[in-house]
Structure 1
Amino acid sequence: MSKTWKLIRIMLKMQFSLAQKSTSEKMGYLFLLLFAIPFSVFIFFALDGIIGGLYDVLAPTGNESFILGILLMMMFVLFVFVSIGSILSSFYFAEDIESFITLPFQPYQIMLGKSATPFLTLYLTNTAILAPALFIYGLHSEAGITYYIYSVIIWLITPILPFVLTAIVIMYLMRFLNISKNKDRMKIFAGLFMFIFIIGINIVFRLNTSSTETGEEFAQIITEQNALIEMFTKLFPHAYLSSISLTQPDTTLGIVFLLLTVLLTIAIFFIYLTAGQKLYFKGVLGLSGGSKKVFNEEKALKQMKQGNVLFISWLKEMRIMLRTPTFFTQIIVQSLVFPILFIVIVVFDSGGGQFSVLSLGPMIEQADEKKVILSLLGFTVFALGINPAAISSISRDGKNWFNHLYMPIRAETVIMSKVVAAFSINLLTIIVIGVVAFIFAKIPITIGGIWIGLSLIISWITCIAGTTLDLYTPHLKWTDEREVFKGRMIGILSLIIEVVVFGSIILLLWNIKLFEGLWLTSIVLLVVFTLLSILSHVILKKVIRTHFYSILQKK
């Protein structure tokens, strides 16, 4: 066991050591810590309002356990979502895996060492959401000391079950991926598993939720004690056990359910160790094998032809993002999650309730066109959010950046190919949302066309801004692709700039009475966005001149 702890400490030091971090990166961690304080206060008061309101409604009928049950269900889904990407990256796609395989460690020991960093991520999320939620519930229910003891135990074991279940499934699937001769395609297939799982979970919940049944049965269910939690936790027995143990901590049933929850977690964890011992190395060795190909010079010469430099550079960037597993999951999958979930919500929830997406078109026709176009653009800013392709444009090259210094390609061409690649990723989001808006929501053609056109300009500006920020403060000295995205403030900084700039423009036009009507508002927005686009190009060119050839000289 001591060898396992030493291995875990080594891997944690490798991941979080500040030894070779630049001053800007260290300041970024400090800024992130300071930013977390007001964010935590906001989360606390938001949870207090939600839990307090639900408790006042559900407590009189004895259904207060529903609050904890639904909270634990949401945490389970969230932990699975976070774990899929971190498990794939840490267990299979990190560059140091083959180095550890040669050391005298058992497979389960290396697997536990690789689990340390993902577990820390889960416990940080657990501390930010579940811990204050349990504390707030205790305050509203006036719980005794037994409740808080149980809460600490539940808090400790909650991340374990979703993580180990996800890891077992992934290890089982990766065990059979070594039958392929194409390593890159199999890694991409594994990355797609995360995307499919997220959408599948959402569809299952919506298929199992009928608005008609809910309306007929809710009146009866709400009158029965713990009936709500029994209905909503059919697929999550641990959430039911934990919630009942917390709402009845001083009863025999509460103690029994807590013990059952702990025993269930321990049993699954030992299955996790067994699965790791049997399956982990088989999946890792299968991925590291690759395929042996004989170089055919004649065939290669036939495929070589002269083309547009910008297009070829863009194609190279797209291939890197599609073929590198970490980049694929962090950029492509992350960019598609929001629009695909948007489609699922529309398709599976288009007929329920008084308000529906299907009624959005008639509502827009009757609303103020100026406020409609401004609201749609605000939605676009939210949908695009942080563009991971733009804020990693330069950093993705890593130590290979020096290749650009002697290749006969202009610096502006190299950078613009990265901007266009980031814009292409955003374009997928815009197309999907546009199709849903026109086909399902039946937004008027004129408003929809103006909205999509202005959204394309917004996307182009954000891509330039993200690429400029990454060129100004790149992270090239990484040993694992995950470092390009984790522990950097560039994503938050990019989002702040985007919200401040576009949010201010939308807010000003919303309140200025001088600009009314769809066409006048759209012309003003077009002029402003065009000027912003020109300004962003000027700033990018200046940063290219001052930083493109001196990046590697920075410490």
Structure 2
Amino acid sequence: MSKYISLLKVFLKSTETMKNKNKKSLISLVVLLIIGMLPLVKNIIDIINKGYDALSLINQQGIIVSLGLSFVSVMIFFFGSFYILNSFYFSESIESILYLPLKQSQILGAKFTLVVIYQYIIQGVFALPLIIVYGIKANEGIIYYIYSLIIFLINPIVPLVIASIIVMFIMKFSNTFKNKDRIKTFSGILLFIIILPLTMYIQKLAQKGISPKEFQNLVKGSSGFNLDVISNLFLSSKFASLSLINSKNISGILNLAVFILINLLFIALFTWVGEKLYFKGVIGISAVSSKRKRLNKKEIEKLSLKKSKLRAYVEKEIKLIFRTPPYVLNGVISGVILPVIFIGSMIFGGDMKDIIPSISGNLYDSGMVSFIFIISLGIFLFLGAMNPLSSTGVSREGSSIYLNKYMPVNYETILMSKVISSFIIEGITTLIWIIPVFIVLKLPITISLSILLISIVTIIFSNLIGTVIDLNFPKLNWDNEQEAIKKNLNPFINLFLSIIIGGIIIYSSYKFNLDSLYTFIYIFSIILILDIVVYFLLKTKGQKLFESIK
């Protein structure tokens, strides 16, 4: 047991959050994460409230607990599957641990416990509102909350054991997934695909609301939704919900005992299967395979073509971004996902249904067009600052940044390659979502082109100022790429400055009360001037800052 606990402590200390020595940065990130989750939690609370009130009319309010805990188990299963894959097979030190004098059960137990701990975050978002709201509305006593705490701590075990067995079985018999960069990118994209519709659907339910009749039809099965199938997806969730619903009588403690027994049996099953499958699948996981290809004369000539230094560095930066999963997920995919979530939430929330006709019907009104230009500036500044590619470009060099100083390339070329590469990626991701918006809003060509021009100068500004910020506060001491981009405060500094600058421009545009043409000229000119100023700042002071980095 002592070796298991010691190994668990090592795993916890080696995670990105625990390795972050800057406590203020860690606290800031946690606070921002909590603030970002508040709208989702509020929507969940609204759904639980409405569901309880509707089901209480037919004395079936306990079903909200059964359905809620089953939903939480499903979420843990999906999210846990990807975390298990990365933690069990693709962590940096996994193979070195295998040679230590440790039992298989100790390594498996420590790894599994680490995954369980991280799943408490998901439970905190989805299960705590359920437990608290139901407890208050049902006027439950202290026993209910004691049962809730026990269930909260144990509930992730069954879905994670099932997910672990599936992952171990796949990794035992498959060599396809042994490229960890690809699997990390794939799993991250898949998580985005899962989260996006789920977030939109929850927001739709919370804003639209569900009538008591709809909830009653849900319970009776007349809506075509089989509640029994959902509530029995994970057997442990059924007994957990019965324990909470009957916490005031003997049935509650009996169901809790069955719940605990089921989880103990699943732990035994996990240990047995793990010893049969895990180590056969993890040995040699870090081995790298390569493909040999014979090049013909044309291919050799193509690879040997002389390129400008700037182009070569830009291509190097883009290839590095797309070959590194954290950069792809946080810099490329998020550049598409964030706007889609923003726009999709309005569509599913019903706001867009009122906005679209009013915008489309007033496109010949100068005030409406001016409003569109002002809002566009705010959106592009916000999304440009939120994309961390430019504000981590120098930080991504890490401890190898000194190699650039030995290259026969001036510092301006190196810095501009970072600006241009991030601009190209952000520009492409912007086009992916902005063109459908133009089509939906039925914007005329002139207005669309004007917005595109505003987007170009704004994205240039975000990338220039982001690079300047990163030169002043580079984060070069990191152990893996994820720290360089996710544990870096430079994107937040960029966002803070962008909010201030955008606020000043938007406020002045509003106060001047210009018509649409002059509003466009004013916004475009101000941002273009800022681009020129920051470019010269990067060209002069930026090179000195880069030279001073050691």
**How far, CA to CA, are the matches of 2:438 and 2:36 in structure 1?**
39
Q: Is the 8 A contact 2:242 2:255 kept in 1?
A: yes
Offset, 1:105: 3.4
Which whole-Å CA distance do the structure 1 matches of 2:267 and 2:499 have between them? 43
Deviation at 1:455, TM superposition (A): 2.6
Per the alignment, residue 315 of structure 1 pairs with 315
Are residues 478 and 222 of structure 1, via their aligned partners in 2, closer, same or farther at CA, if it must alter by over 3 Å?
Answer: closer
Distance in 1 (alpha carbons) for counterparts of 2:466 and 2:12: 30
The corresponding residue for 2:215 is 222
- Which of 150, 166, 170 is the matching residue for 1:153? 150
5 Å matches for 1:351-500? 355=350, 361-367=356-362, 368-381=368-381, 383=383, 386-500=386-500
Deviation at 1:406, TM superposition (A): 0.5
Equivalences for 1:73-84 in 2 at 5 Å?
A: 75=72, 79=76, 83=80
Are the equivalent residues in 1 in contact too, given 2:52–2:134 (CA < 8 A)? no
Q: CA deviation at 1:161?
A: 4.7
Tell me what 1:547 maps to.
Answer: 545
Any conservation in 2 of the 1:48–1:136 contact (CA below 8 Å)? no
Task: Please give the alpha-carbon distance, in whole angstroms, between the structure 2 residues aligned to 1:430 and 1:17.
Answer: 31
Q: Whole-Å Cα distance in 1 between the matches of residues 185 and 147 of structure 2?
A: 37
- The one of 175, 179, 182 equivalent to 1:178 is 175
Of residues 249-258 and 6-15 in structure 1, the stretch that sits farther from structure 2 once superposed is 249-258
Query: After superposition, what is the alpha-carbon deviation per residue over 1:468-502, rounded to whole angstroms, capped at 9, x for unaligned?
Result: 33333333232233322444433443333333433
TM-score, length basis structure 1:
0.77
Structure 2 match to 1:50: 46
Quote the offset at 1:405 in angstroms: 1.4
Residue 187 of structure 1: aligned partner: 181
Contact 1:69 1:233 in 2 (8 A): no
CA distance in 2, matches of 1:188, 1:281: 22
Q: For the residues of structure 1 that align with 2:72 and 2:540, how far apart are their CA atoms?
A: 45
Q: Deviations over 1:294-340 (max 9, x none)?
A: 79899896423310222221221222222234443444444444466
Structure 1 residues 472 and 399, CA, compared in 2 at 3 Å: closer, same or farther?
Answer: same
Cα displacement (A) at 1:179: 5.2
Are the counterparts in 2 of residues 357 and 441 from structure 1 also a CA contact under 8 Å?
A: no
- Given that 2:335 and 2:430 are in contact with CA atoms closer than 8 Å, whether structure 1 keeps it comes out as no
The answer to whether the Cα contact below 8 Å between 2:391 and 2:491 also exists between their aligned partners in 1 is: yes
Output one character per residue of 1:120-178: Cα deviation in whole Å (capped at 9) or x when no partner. Answer: 44335545664466335433432211221122123213444555554444444444552
Residue deviations 1:491-547 (CA, integer Å, cap 9, x gap): 44333333343345435545x2x3244333222221232233234334444553343
Q: 2:528 aligns with which of 527, 530, 547?
A: 530
Corresponding position of 1:289: 287
The DSSP-based 3-state class of the residue aligned with 1:122 is helix
2:135 to 134, 138, 149: 138
Counterpart AA for 2:523 = L
Aligned residue type for 1:426: E
SS of residue matched to 1:549: helix
1:255-299 CA-partner distances (Å, limit 9, x unpaired): 565455545544554444445434444444454221256798998
Which deviates more from structure 2 when the two are superposed, residues 368-377 or residues 120-129? 120-129
SS at match of 1:199: helix
Instruction: Measure, in 1, the Cα distance between the counterparts of 2:418 and 2:521.
Output: 29
Check whether the contact 1:387–1:463 (CA below 8 A) recurs between aligned residues.
no
Paired residue type of 2:151 = I
Alignment partner, residue 196 of structure 1: 190
The letter of the residue matching 1:396 is: R
Q: Distance in 1 between matches of 2:65 and 2:267?
A: 23
CA distance in 2, matches of 1:73, 1:466: 44
SS at match of 2:26: helix
Q: Quick one: structure 1 residues 231 and 509, their matched pair in 2 at CA, closer, same or farther if it must change by over 3 Å? A: farther
TM-score, with length taken from structure 2: 0.78
Distance, in Å, in 2 between the alignment partners of 1:383 and 1:337 is: 11
Distance in 2, matches of 1:11 and 1:285, equals 19
Distance 1:538 1:313, change over 3 A: same
Question: Taking structure 1 as reference, are residues 537 and 202 closer, same or farther at Cα in structure 2, changes over 3 Å only?
Answer: closer
Note the C-alpha offset of 1:69. Answer: 5.8
Is the 1:44–1:132 contact (alpha carbons within 8 Å) kept by the matching residues of 2?
A: no
> What secondary structure does 2:459 align onto?
helix
Q: 1:95: which partner in 2?
A: 92
CA distance in 1 between counterparts of 2:78 and 2:395 reads 25
Would the alpha carbon gap of residues 143 and 449 (structure 1) be closer, same or farther in structure 2, given more than 3 Å must change?
A: farther
State, as a whole percentage, how many aligned pairs show the same letter: 26
1:222–1:325 distance in 2 versus 1, CA, 3 Å:
closer
Post-superposition offset of 1:404: 0.7
What displacement does 1:53 show? 5.3
Instruction: Mark the CA change 1:48 to 1:263 in structure 2 (over 3 Å): closer, same or farther.
Output: same
> What displacement does 1:418 show?
1.9
Q: Matched residue pairs, number?
A: 534
Does 2:4 align with 1:11? no
Worse-superposed segment, 225-234 or 538-547: 225-234
Inter-CA distance 425–10: structure 2 relative to 1 (3 Å threshold):
same
